[in-house]
Structure 1
Amino acid sequence: MIRFEPLEARLVLSARAVDAVNAFAGDLYEHMQNETGNLAFSPLSVATAMGMLYGAAGGQTADEIAAVFHLGTEPGIHSAFRSLIRKLESPRATIEVTAPWLNEWHRQSPLWSGVAFDDLSQEAQWEVLFAIPTELWLEHNYEYSVWEPTYETSIANAVWPQAGAPIDAEYLGLVRNSYLGHVEGLDYSAKAEAARERINEWVEAETEGRIVDLLPAGALDAGTALVLTNALYFKAKWDTPFIRESTHFATFHLSDGESVDVPMMVNQYDELSSTVIDGYSVYDLPFESGGSSTSPGSMRIVLQRQADGAGVLSAETVARINAWDADEPYVVSGCPDNFYLPKFEIRVETDLASALAGMGMPSAFGGDANFPSIGAGTY
């Protein structure tokens, strides 16, 4: 889990959206966790996209979306999402980091030993700096460091209607203003493949190249009326970076009882926020704070304490973890001599339509869907 600290204090105006996202997260996880294979999803991403869809819905369809996503019946939910998006995209601090050009030169130089510049001793760093040619220093104005935000977050929403379709202008304004969304008409009727390529191009750019070919060939055709996309990109530095040279192969136990050897990262913490909830060990690995007294967020690791455990989290357990956030956000406890975390990359394709229909909003995906703002007969 990626969490921002503390949501309640930082995002007062968007508390309603925060509560909705957190409640939906537990529900969706409980609904999907028994699926085969790895599971990865962003409740913020899904809820934001469905918030845009909710803005176009009416009747029973709107009621079902509101219930599944805990949006409530009072006005103001779209403004709450606007506040949430704006504040998550606005880092509170910056940090000084080694300039990319210096890191690149170091990696290509005879002084490279496999240890990054930032991890070298001060003596070794001076050796590298004195070895850099004068002309290269001049080219970069003798600047060997740059200032970067403590984290990068991009929540990129977009609505892609059929060009010329009768889409309600007020709805498109809602997408632009409340969800900071991109609106672009495309010609699906005559150029469906070109439209698909344009959407994929936009998503790839908004996710720094992480999501490529979101829509596979044949996903769109002449009957497509509107495509709604959400792309979420997040990048942050650890407050205490893992020791690159300490990464080694070690045993990782799978849920089916088998074991595999994986690259295992190693870190040492002077103190670490942790607790035990419902038989699970919970750790918060904070992101770089940029000198602030509190971290802007963390990665939350939830581990089974028994290898033969069920391996599933109930919505009630997720709620207790969130309650621990609110009541005791930074309970410092003793931490192990070494903290181990496997390197991993997860790529997952999920049929959210089936999941959401099963959670209580079937009409949005059926013939009786009611989206008056999109235009009768266009969905």
Structure 2
Amino acid sequence: MRLVRKIISPLLVLILVGIMFASGCINTNFPSLSYTESTSVVPYTHNDTLRYKIPPVNDFAFLLYHHLPKKEDNIFLSPYSILTALAMLYEGAEGTTRNEMREVLNLPEDDLERREEFRYLILRINNPASDAYILRTASALWIQKDYSIKEDYIDVIRRYYFADVRELDFSEDPEGSRKTINEWVERQTERKIANLIPPGAIDEFTRLVITNAIYFKANWSSKFEPENTYNETFTLTSGEKIKVEMMHQVNSFNYMETEEFQALEMPYKDNRLSMLIILPKENDISVLEEKLTSEFVENILSSMKVEKVEVVIPKFSFEKSYILNDVLQEMGIREAFTNKADFSGIAEDKLMISVVVHKTFIRVAESGTEAAAATGVGMTVAAPSSKEHPKVFRADHPFIFLIRDRETGAVLFIGRLMDPRG
């Protein structure tokens, strides 16, 4: 293995990180949204071009979800984080490598259009109109000291993706470099993602590491009261019944149902972000997974109306780590992982992807969860008459959930809860 790596060195190591975090004791005294010296996001102005147009985050989200090994496990990832980091890499791809990446990522072929789309989305995410929640992202390029990266590539990454560019000495101090990058990730994610890069993942042949982090924290618009949380039964797909903490409330939310499933949209404070929960009526989540596309979700959202709903959902917390090499190759990004890779837009030397790592964390509790966009109409429209029996949304078996940015429509996080115990 060492011999092979010497033959194809230097290597490109691509590291991704996505985080979503919500505490059970969230308060509104959030830390300020000031950025560290490693971020370069500038204030958004309404004169920006291509307003209301974003990269194809949602299509990529569902494509990636369908290619993940399912098993009987919880799933949680940030398609925004992964797509952004891959798009930064795509900026330096040429030939077949570029064509494969563009087809899988569904990126606009026009350079300016693509870059402006990412620029707009990054600016919107990092410059919220409210201080009621935290939503921020950060990107960085970590380059081998004295290694020649093309200035045009660096200019694009800085201008449109707002990435910081730093030098590290991978050749002489791979372990120290690994720790430096991990410390950056921890700072960007409020210490919720630790040791993203495991020992040995960076060595003397590493020439470039790309990182992207996303962090969100918010309260529900309508909180669950802790005294209304009880130990109740949650039925796994196997039929096994377990006891978990289930949260209860009755309020007005966007809601819809069919013969196969129910859907509920729960906004976070200020209503820009929301969690959309899609619950199969029978304990068979595969019925929903087969339908899961951008069009399916948009149809759900457009069919919703404000209803008085009795909501019962579990508290849960878990973290996930993914090595996405095989998944991305199965999706069609193949050449980038071989010594035929063409990233000549980054450097003259031969570069290839060594590893793609994605790590996430989520906690859902009475006070809040992470970001997602929703209409929030249920919080602003008068509730139906108290004589009307509320709809019952009891999520006591596996379900799919999305966290969306209502303003842009982007799916920032997507997940599947199979077992609330983690």
> Within 5 Å, which residues of 2 pair with 1:197-208?
197-208=179-190
Q: Is 1:177 aligned with 2:159?
A: yes
Kindly indicate whether the alpha-carbon contact (under 8 Å) linking 2:342 and 2:351 is maintained by their aligned counterparts in 1. Answer: no
Show structure 2 runs of 5+ residues with no match.
1-19, 21-47, 353-422
**Alpha carbons of structure 1 residues 194 and 315: separation in structure 2 relative to 1, 3 Å:** farther
Query: Counterparts of 1:373 and 1:156 in 2: how far apart (Å)?
Result: 23
Deviations 1:58-99 (A, max 9, x none): 111111111111113223211111110111122223xxxxxx
Aligned match of 1:121 = none
Structure 2: how far apart are the matches of 1:26 and 1:322? 13
Deviations 1:18-58 (A, max 9, x none): 4x111111111111162452111111111111110111111
Partner of residue 286, structure 1: 267
3-state DSSP class of the match of 2:350? coil
Looking at structure 2, the residues matched to 277 and 348 of structure 1 have their Cα atoms a distance apart, in angstroms, of 31
- Flag the structure with higher strand content: 2
Give the Cα separation in 2 of the matches to 1:176 and 1:245.
49
What does the per-residue CA deviation read over 1:339-366, in whole Å, with 9 as the maximum and x for residues that have no partner?
1111111211112121111011111111
Identity %: 33
Instruction: State the aligned residue count.
Output: 304
- 1:56 aligned onto 2:92: yes
Q: Where does 1:1-379 land on structure 2 (aligned, <5 Å)? A: 13=50, 15-18=52-55, 20-32=56-68, 34-75=70-111, 76-93=113-130, 149-269=131-251, 271-276=252-257, 279-289=260-270, 295-308=271-284, 310=286, 312-314=288-290, 316-325=292-301, 327-328=302-303, 331-336=305-310, 339-375=311-347, 376-379=349-352
SS across alignment from 2:77: coil
Q: What one-letter code is carried by the residue in structure 2 that aligns with 1:353?
A: N
Aligned-pair RMSD on alpha carbons?
2.0
Quote the offset at 1:318 in angstroms: 4.7
Distance in structure 2 (CA, Å) of the matches to 1:62 and 1:181 = 21
- With over 3 angstroms needed to count, the CA separation of the structure-2 counterparts of 1:177 and 1:342, relative to structure 1, is same
Alpha-carbon distance between aligned partners in 2 of 1:358 and 1:173, rounded to the nearest angstrom:
31
> How far is the alpha carbon of 1:323 from its aligned partner?
3.5
Larger RCO (CA under 8 A, 6+ residues apart): 2
CA contact (8 A) 1:266 1:340 kept: yes
Q: Aligned AA for 1:230? A: N
How far apart, in 2, do the equivalents of 1:172 and 1:317 lie?
34
Give CA-to-partner distance per residue, 1:314-351, whole Å, 9 cap, x none. 355552112443x45x6212412xx1111111211112
Instruction: Give yes or no for contact 2:132–2:269 (8 Å, CA) kept in 1.
Output: yes
* Structure 1 residue runs without a partner (length 5+): 3-10, 94-148, 290-294
TM-score, L = length of structure 2: 0.68
Residues 309 and 83 (structure 1 numbering): CA distance in 2 closer, same or farther, change over 3 Å?
closer
Q: In the superposition, relative to structure 1, how do residues 15 and 357 fare at CA in structure 2: closer, same or farther (>3 Å)?
A: farther
Contact kept, 8 Å, 1:91 with 1:150, in 2: the verdict is no
2:289 and 2:106 map into 1 onto residues whose CA distance is 20
Q: Deviations over 1:286-336 (max 9, x none)?
A: 0111xxxxx1120111111102453651355552112443x45x6212412
Shift of the alpha carbon at 1:247?
Answer: 1.7
Aligned residue in 2 for 1:117:
none
In 2, distance between residues paired with 1:22 and 1:218? 34
Alpha-carbon displacement from aligned partner over 1:91-150 (angstroms, at most 9, x marks no partner): 223xxxxxxxxxxxxxxxxxxxxxxxxxxxxxxxxxxxxxxxxxxxxxxxxxxxxxxx12
Distance (whole Å) between structure 1 residues aligned to residue 58 and residue 258 of structure 2: 17
Aligned with 2:286: secondary structure? Answer: coil
Q: CA shift at 1:284, angstroms?
A: 0.5
Q: Deviations over 1:171-228 (max 9, x none)?
A: 1121211111111111000000000000000000000111001001111111111111
The 1:42–1:244 alpha-carbon spacing in structure 2 relative to 1, beyond 3 Å, is same
